[in-house]
Copies of this chain bind each other. A is one copy, B any other.
Amino acid sequence: MGRRAAIGKAAFLRHPGAVNDPDEPATDPQLAAFRRSIDNIDAALIHILAERFRITQAVGRYKAQTHMPPADPERETRQIARLRQLAEDADLDPEFSEKFLRFIIDEVIRHHRQVQGD
């Protein structure tokens, strides 16, 4: 049995009868193309988030040294208003942008509390 036939057989065994089965990316070129773009974007998001947490960890150490509280509700209100506006301009659901920032800030405050030993 040649290599192509072996691959074809393996795919068949994994997904009997599936042509457009999304578990098998190779069977649908359009879906595979979408997913390559999503994977590139996700790598960018992970690296930008890593940089954001590098900065907020520095903020956490600075707040602990200068005895500032970990959370800052006024700052958060300003951030949410700004991101909702940016989201609207970029055609992203503003509700989602707010949920997203809340999700990130909750993680940041958890880090700050760890630094301050609360």
Q: Which of B22, B86, B96, B100 lies in contact with A43, CB distance below 8 A? A: B86
Is the C-beta of A63 less than 8 angstroms from some C-beta in chain B? Answer: yes
Copies of the chain in the assembly: 2
Whether, in the assembled complex, A35 has its beta carbon less than 8 Å from a beta carbon of chain B, the answer is yes
Q: How far is the CB of A100 from chain B (nearest CB, A)?
A: 7
Q: Residues of B contacting A28 with CB < 8 Å?
A: 66
Picked from B37, B50, B56, B63, the residue with its CB within 8 Å of the CB of A90 is B50
Give A residues with C-beta under 8 Å from B: 20-23, 25, 28, 30-31, 34-35, 37-39, 41-56, 58-59, 62-63, 66-69, 72, 74-75, 79, 82-83, 86-87, 90-93, 96-97, 100-101, 103, 107
Starting from the known contacts A20-B66, A23-B75, A43-B86, 20 additional A-B residue pairs (CB-CB under 8 Å) come to: A22-B68, A22-B72, A23-B72, A25-B75, A34-B58, A39-B82, A41-B48, A41-B55, A42-B52, A42-B82, A44-B48, A46-B83, A46-B90, A46-B97, A48-B48, A49-B92, A50-B92, A53-B92, A100-B103, A103-B103
